[in-house]
Chain A
Amino acid sequence: MKKYFLSLIFILLFIQGCATRKTALRLVTTTSVSDSGILSVLLDEFKKEYSIDTEVLAVGSGQALELAKRGDADILIVHSPTDEQKFIDDGYGKERIPFMKNYFVIAGPPDDPCKIEGEVADDAFKAIAENGYSFVSRADASGTNKKELAIWKEININPDGKEWYIKSGSGMGASLILASEKSAYILTDKATFMTVAYNKLPLKIFVENDKSLLNTYSIITLNPEKITHVAEIKSEINEFVNFITKSQKARSIIETFGKDKYGFPLFELLNN
């Protein structure tokens, strides 16, 4: 009995040695940033240069901000400008630095049953609603979801509760898969579309390059007066912010990421 017990402890300690790492800077970010894969490239480079470990928690922008309010995040990368401003006005956030952008696009089944190709976003949404054609909404208070709701509001249509309006309640990648299974239209950021759907799912982009579909990613630092634990890791946070927003290395990663695979970069730099 004792022998079994000791060997069990030994096995546990051995596995523990293999599986754990020490604590790290916790970056809470949106699924669109992490699903595209750009983050792991940036973070590997950051680790190489500063030897600071980071861990990534990928959730919707809305949940990211809520998590941070509860004190469970060290730093944020999100894309929901209105919510971000409120977050700072409420005293939770200290600084908001927009650093990269891309565009939202509207994708749908390849035969384009609502004939939205080349339209602007407002008209495309109107056409989908008029035809009562299936549309997948993230419905998770993410940045993409907020953008979608803003468009519905602008054209004075309330899709909530409609037969054709499908609420997925999950991340961008999962929602794209759902849209392809249901052959529905969907609003998505271009980076996740290229990573998850392009050449893999029966979905095609019909509306893009619409100025109103600009998608801005910002890095947000937390106010140590309200979220006290960030005061202890101030220097690590500063180094991270500087690395992402100022370093030549990070800028060149953002400028080129995805170019070799898709022929164009998935994100663009923002000059501020």
Chain B
Amino acid sequence: MGIDIILRSLWIALWALFWGSIFGVSIGIWFSLKNFKFKRPLFLILYLFLSLPPITIGLFLYLMFSRSGIFGFLGWLFTPKVMIIAQAIMATPLISIITFNSLEHRGKKIFETALLLGAKPYEIIKKILKEIRFSLGLAIATAFGRVISEVGASTLIGGDIERKTRVMSTSILTETRMGNFDYALKQALALILISLLINIFILIWQGKTD
């Protein structure tokens, strides 16, 4: 009974981290290499998203993906897809800001050195990622902790539907409210264990790529 909920939580959170990392790292690298006119205001928006309470993200997505909203034709409300979008929106600013911060002074240097050595574009990106792997690992782990434990937006736009969108955090809420403390406690322990495992995995990965 609980296993499918755990797998679903992981699947949603990992997809969110996948998209969050792609967008986050791209934005971070782009910001650190290029200077352009609207960089400051864009930065402000990024920081705004960082401090945006998840429930407000949930509310906006709810209205957008409801069948009478602009993306309503997709029929994505109360599906895992829109939960992934919400969580990716939570992960992206964190990852992009940390990517940028750890590249701010070195980014251009790495880029130019690599270019001088005749590196191909994907090799440059690889080099950059390797340089910032510690802070990037930390950013992804923090983002993971943020998205997998998030409950407000997940309940609002996921609906806590059994066998569809019930994840660990929302099931803990529902079961506690129903007085099933045993079950809620087991889910909570599983949640803690998974966070621990992911963090260990990231630590090992950081060590290996030395």
Contacts and interface: CB of A to CB of B under 8 A. Distances in A.
Interface of A: 1, 4, 8, 11-12, 15-16, 18-21, 23-24, 26, 35, 40, 55-58, 70-72, 170-171, 173-174, 176-177, 196, 200-201, 227, 229
Nearest to A24: B164
Contacts of B75: 23, 229
Interface residues of B, number: 30
B126 interface: yes
Interface in B136-175: 159-164
Interface string B1-34: 0001001101100110010000000000000000
B7 A177 contact: no
Interface in B120-137: 126, 129-130
Given A56-B162, A70-B68, A15 B14 contact: yes
A15 B15 CA distance: 10
A229 B66 CA distance: 12
Contacts of B184: none
A137 to B, nearest CB: 16
Given A1-B126, A1-B129, A71 B68 contact: yes
Contact of B205 (A4, A11, A71): A4
A15 B179 contact: no
B100 interface: no
A15 B11 contact: yes
Interface in B171-188: 177-179
A12 B11 contact: yes
Contact of A12 (B18, B66, B72, B209): B18
Given A19-B8, A229-B67, 15 more contacts: A1-B130, A4-B205, A15-B14, A24-B164, A55-B163, A55-B164, A56-B162, A57-B161, A58-B160, A71-B66, A71-B72, A72-B67, A171-B177, A173-B177, A227-B67
Contacts of A8: 14, 18
A1 to B, nearest CB: 6
B11 A177 contact: no
Contact of B179 (A4, A200, A227): A200
A21 B7 contact: no
A173 B8 CA distance: 25
Nearest to B14: A12
B161 A56 contact: yes
B15 A12 contact: yes
B4 A18 contact: yes
Contacts of B68: 70-71
Query: Which residue, B4, B67, B80, B130, has most C-beta atoms of chain A within 10 A?
Result: B67
A20 B163 CA distance: 8
Given A56-B161, A200-B179, A201-B179, A16 B67 contact: no
